[in-house]
Amino acid sequence: IQQAKAKGIFLIFMIPPRSIDKDATAIYNVLPENHKMAFYDGNIYPQFYSLENSFDKGHLNNKGAEIFSREVGMQLSKILNRIN
């Protein structure tokens, strides 16, 4: 984060739906709140795991991708509002 900041970059680490591993979680857990977004929890984001929004086991369909894009935008907006 400090290296990115020195270059004028605001780094955000994101774990997308259906993509979780212990290395990603370990990194996520040590980052400050303003530098992370996670969408892998099916209890919080059941829409990313429903058959209606799925192309296959690992991918969202167009409808799911639209829902995901809106959620990313909302979360990003919250982060940017906190840092400004």
Q: What would the 3-class secondary structure string for 60-81 be?
A: ECHHHHHHHHHHHHHHHHHHHH
Confidence of residue 46 (pLDDT cuts 50, 70, 90): very high
Provide the token pair at 8. 């004028």
Stretch 41-45: mean pLDDT, rounded?
94
Cα 26 versus chain centre, distance: 15
Cβ(28)–Cβ(36) under 8 Å?
Answer: yes
Task: Indicate if the pLDDT at residue 9 is higher than 80.
Answer: yes
Stretch 33-39: mean pLDDT, rounded?
94
pLDDT for the residue 84: 72
Cβ(79)–Cβ(37) under 8 Å?
Answer: yes
Provide the token pair at 26. 């370990």
DSSP-derived letter for residue 52 is: G
